[in-house]
Structure 1
Amino acid sequence: MTERIVVVGAALLDGGRLLAARRSAPPELAGRWELPGGKVEPGETPEAALVRELREELGVETEPVRRVPGQWPLRTPYVLQVWTARLRAGSAEPKALQDHDALRWLTPATLWSVDWLEQDVPAVREVAAELDAADAGA
């Protein structure tokens, strides 16, 4: 049996908004939107991978908050796990540095205005409930 490889995705939250990143590669994913992140390297925790990937891809310093329940299959042997995360105080504003050509902060009202990759949709639905609750409490 092939060992699964975890890919971490970040539901990066800031002020009641969720960050979406538009893929620039590979060609079959280009133009679709995702939660940024990447593969967990051997010996690395998923949380450490999340922080590293967001630093590399977006140029930001973040901290994981909690794991979103569930995991979603990608192409074998990869599986997606998602964490909510927040920008650290003093972090730069996210920029599309690697693998993406655009970023967009989405509010509860605009969350479904982008063409999400299918594997990210269940996690986005989970996070949407949190955004709606935060928006209602504002």
Structure 2
Amino acid sequence: MGGTAEKHLVYCWIERDGAALFLRRADGTFHGGRWELPGGTVEPGEPMESAAVREAAEETGLVVRVTAERSRHTWMDVTGRDLRVHARIYEVADGTGDVVLNPGEHQEYAWLTPERAADLDLLPYVRETLTP
């Protein structure tokens, strides 16, 4: 009996001129149509901050550098599996450049203030981190 499995996710709070980058999940994907921050799953043995930098590059084409941890969140898997999900959201310094989405994961992006983002269909952990 192994008990509850653990999954670790990391996300980036990428900010430019007071607005953060939000991504809309592609239709047909898990949570399709909902908004989130750039990020994803930590690979086995991968340091959390390295995973955040890798995921930001894969999903947006942006090269970032972690500057601080913004928040932590934990919840049980929403599909009913015996899985506890842990998410860390990092504040990052953004390299310059244009956002280039991975169309297999996201269909839209927006630079929004936290106040404007609050009107989106956000995933719960994102809503919780709008104010650090």
TM-score normalised to the size of structure 1?
0.79
**1:78 partner letter:** V
- Report the structure, 1 or 2, having the larger helix content: 1
How many positions carry a matched residue from both structures? Answer: 124
CA RMSD of aligned residues (A): 1.8
- Report the structure, 1 or 2, having the larger strand content: 2
Q: CA deviation at 1:125?
A: 2.8
Q: CA deviation at 1:28?
A: 5.1
Q: Structure 2: give runs of 5+ residues left out of the alignment.
A: 78-82
Rounded Cα–Cα distance in structure 2 between residues aligned with 1:108 and 1:27:
25
Q: 107-116 or 39-48: which moved more?
A: 107-116
Rounded Cα–Cα distance in structure 1 between residues aligned with 2:27 and 2:6:
23
Rounded Cα–Cα distance in structure 2 between residues aligned with 1:125 and 1:3:
29
The aligned counterpart of 1:120 is: 126
How much identity, in percent, do the aligned residues show? 27
The aligned counterpart of 1:61 is: 63
Rounded Cα–Cα distance in structure 2 between residues aligned with 1:106 and 1:123:
14
Q: After the TM superposition, which segments of 4 or more aligned residues of structure 1 sit over 6 Å from their partners?
A: none
Rounded Cα–Cα distance in structure 2 between residues aligned with 1:50 and 1:28:
20
Q: Matched residue of 1:41: which SS?
A: coil
Q: Structure 1: give runs of 5+ residues left out of the alignment.
A: 127-138
Rounded Cα–Cα distance in structure 2 between residues aligned with 1:102 and 1:108:
17
- Residue 99 of structure 1 pairs with residue 101 of structure 2: no
For the 8 Å contact 2:74–2:84, the answer to whether it is kept is no
